[in-house]
Amino acid sequence: MGKWLKTLSWTTAVCTGVLCTMALPAFAEMSPTLIIETGPSDNPAYRRMIFVKYLVGTQVSANYKTYNRREFINTPNTMATSLIAACAYGPSTSLNEIKAYEREENRRAQAGQAPEQRTFCIKNISDWTDVNKDKYLDPIFQGLP
């Protein structure tokens, strides 16, 4: 009986390990939880600026400010904890909402109007690296040098 139990335990451990390993790529491809804020720039050389916050639960693990797509400046987080919690526990921003923002922002830029301040919550997006990262981020970063 003891040998049978050891074999069963070992078999269970191996099967669990295989199943976890097979499921790992699906989890590895999920988006991080991001809060992205965009609005008028504090630098007169740029029309808009963007803040990107990486969340772990309700904590901001990294916070960057950028005026373009290449240079991200590490900055202290000043966002209200209630807004962070709203993203962490609430719904994410849909791709349709992000694309609508892109259209609105293009109209504002062409009309010479100031950019609107907007906040996006991006989380739990599958196929992040291979498929959806550009789909979600490009419309927000559109218009930045």
Provide the residue ranges of all domains of the chain, joining segments of one domain with +: 1-29, 31-141
Half-sphere exposure (Cβ direction) of 111: Cα atoms closer than 13 Å: 10
pLDDT of amino acid 29: 87
pLDDT of amino acid 42: 97
Say if CB 125 and CB 132 are below 8 A apart: yes
**Edge-to-edge strands, sheet with 59-66:** 72-74, 59-66, 48-56, 33-40, 118-122
State the pLDDT confidence band at 27, using cuts at 50, 70 and 90: low
Q: What is the helix (H) or strand (E) element at residue 34, kind and residue range?
A: strand 33-40
Q: Which residues does 133 contact at the CB level (< 8 Å), separation at least 6?
A: 31
pTM over 0.85: no
76-126 tens-digit pLDDT = 999 999 999 999 999 999 999 999 999 999 999 999 999 999 999 999 999
Count other C-beta atoms under 10 Å from residue 65's C-beta.
Answer: 17
Mean pLDDT check: name the lowest of 14-23, 47-56, 59-68, 102-111.
14-23
Count other C-beta atoms under 10 Å from residue 62's C-beta.
Answer: 15
Mean pLDDT of 23-47: 85
pLDDT of amino acid 86: 98
Instruction: Please state the φ and ψ torsions of residue 64, each to the nearest 5 degrees.
Output: -125, 150
Indicate the average pLDDT of the chain: 86
3-state secondary structure of 68: coil
